A and B are shown apart, each in its own frame.
Chain A
Amino acid sequence: MLRLLKIEWNKIYYYKTARIFTIIYFLMLIVAGLILAFIKPTIGGMKLDIAKLGMFNFPEIWQNITYLVAIGKIFIAVIIITNITNEYSNRTLKQNLIDGLSKKEFLTSKVLSNLVFATLSTIFVLGIILVLGTIFSQTKEMTFKGIEYIGTYFLKLNLFFSICLFLSLLLRKSAFAFLGLIVLWMAEGAISTAEVGLKAWQAGGFQNIDPYGFYVSNYLPLNVSSKLIDFPKINIEGFVMGGSIFKYATIDWTFVVAALVYIAVFLFLSFRLLKKRDL
């Protein structure tokens, strides 16, 4: 296992572009935290201080921050897709196998590097949340309530990276792998819209349906990823009463189960592809 990690380290770290973007990614996580904390824009003469809005209050901070920084996963997705599709375009996958790496070991090495990226990101985000929360939270109690969002963040990254891994192996060209990702994203969006539209039509108007209710289309792979950390719930009432604008929401564990199932499915399909295809 250490041997496979060492091989991946040589492939990724010594690739200058990948190294620079990896460093930028982790810096960006930190900078995002700093910006959130210290930039207080003035909008229409009113000074907007998100700390005052309750952005960094425990326990809502866990969901708020993981939701915001999750967009950065695109950076790592680019590195993962480039790394894997390069193995095809440089024909180094073929050479690795000829040199005596098994197909299983090859896949394991890629899964391991995904895990490393996800773990490092999670540790960074955990640090950012603890620092911001300690400084800015207006409610000091209940520090670790909501920490499960760190777990779902880790899971979300792994699910997304598994999809990238599968698409890279399937399509073998980086541009097509990205297109595949966009097609999947748009297809899921279209299916979701259709389902919501249908429900609204049955219920006689959009005002009659619950946007946080049950939808089958929420269990499509990318939708599961976004549902793992849902858009933070807004509580206008609480805000007007002088409290936080955000409302604490618990995790829907069915999405955790769905994510685990999808990761297993994508890794299994990746392995089959690798096994069946001639190089």
Chain B
Amino acid sequence: MEINHLTKRFGKMTAVNDLSFSVEKGNVYGLLGPNGSGKSTTLGMILNVVNPSEGDWRWFGAEHSTDSLKKVGAIIERPNFYPYLSAQKNLEIVAQIKGANYAKIDEKLKIVGLLERKKDKFSTFSLGMKQRLAIAGALLNDPQVLILDEPTNGLDPQGIIQIREIILQIAAQGTTIILASHLLDEVEKVCSHVVILEKGKTLYSGRVDEMTASFGYFELSSSDNLKLNEVLDSMNYFEKITPNGNHLKGILKEDLSAESLNKLLFEKGIVLNHLVKRRESLEQQFLQITQNKN
């Protein structure tokens, strides 16, 4: 999928400003940005429910049409179904729209673990179940692209884990996934590529692991932190060493495993009582990127 110069204005407000990016087959893309950054509007436009002010997009290398949407599965913000119909009937409507076989209904209900509840009305479902039914609906036609807008919004931890497991399972089968979220760790856990939006503009677009070229950092402490600091300084592995509470924080210049650091320090007569290697979380990287651009 390819998006070219997509723009949406609501009166004077520009929700999406000249957005362009492309999505390649088989990858999991994150669309990341704070609330109101234009994520849902962007997805709304490529899904034909919001009319764009300018720009265009292509699905599967061809001009977009309603037929291309039949090869796409999408869940927008919250599950939308007929509350008075059973899970089965709701999915029958989806199947009729997408031209999918009714036999798929049971298969997909099984994937999301709702097969036993298929005769029950949608209105009796919990939010987590509703969201899982929405995923079953999106998967009904074995889509090539799956679009998820804040799929774990409002769910309890158990529900969040269930949804993430389903997403990873689908990604493992080679389905392209576009995941919009304001939750950084969600994107980090699931996505290989990320597009960061703020106020309708692209701040970053590329692989998640290339966002910053950092090698991570160590958090460590021993009974004598002053001596530890000296020794670390002399080792030339670190860009900067700063005290961080009872620990020292050493930001790496080059790659070094926790095991070899521990060994090196032990050889110099330092016994550590705390050693953790961390990478900067996406959250920190995200803040860094947004600050750099401002």
Contact = CB atoms under 8 A, between A and B. Distances in A.
Interface of A: 3, 6-7, 10-11, 14-17, 86, 90-92, 94-102, 105, 276, 278-279
Given A94-B76, A98-B74, A101-B66, A14 B49 contact: no
Given A99-B137, A101-B97, A102-B66, A10 B47 contact: no
B49 A278 contact: yes
Contact of B49 (A10, A98, A276): A98
B6 interface: no
Interface of B: 44, 47-51, 66-67, 69-70, 72, 74, 76, 78, 80-86, 89, 92-94, 96-99, 137
Contacts of B83: 90
A102 B64 CA distance: 12
Contacts of B93: 7, 10-11, 96
Contact of A279 (B49, B67, B72, B99): B49
Contacts, number: 78
A90 B47 CA distance: 18
- Tell me if A's interface is mostly helix, strand, loop or mixed: helix
B48 A97 contact: yes
B224 to A, nearest CB: 62
A97 B49 contact: yes
A35 B92 CA distance: 42
Contacts of B96: 3, 6-7, 10
Contacts of B82: 11, 15, 86, 90, 92
A105 B99 CA distance: 14
Q: Which 9 A-B pairs have CB atoms at the shortest separation, nearest pair first?
A: A100-B70, A95-B80, A100-B69, A102-B66, A91-B80, A279-B49, A99-B97, A278-B50, A98-B47
Nearest to A4: B96
Contacts of B78: 91
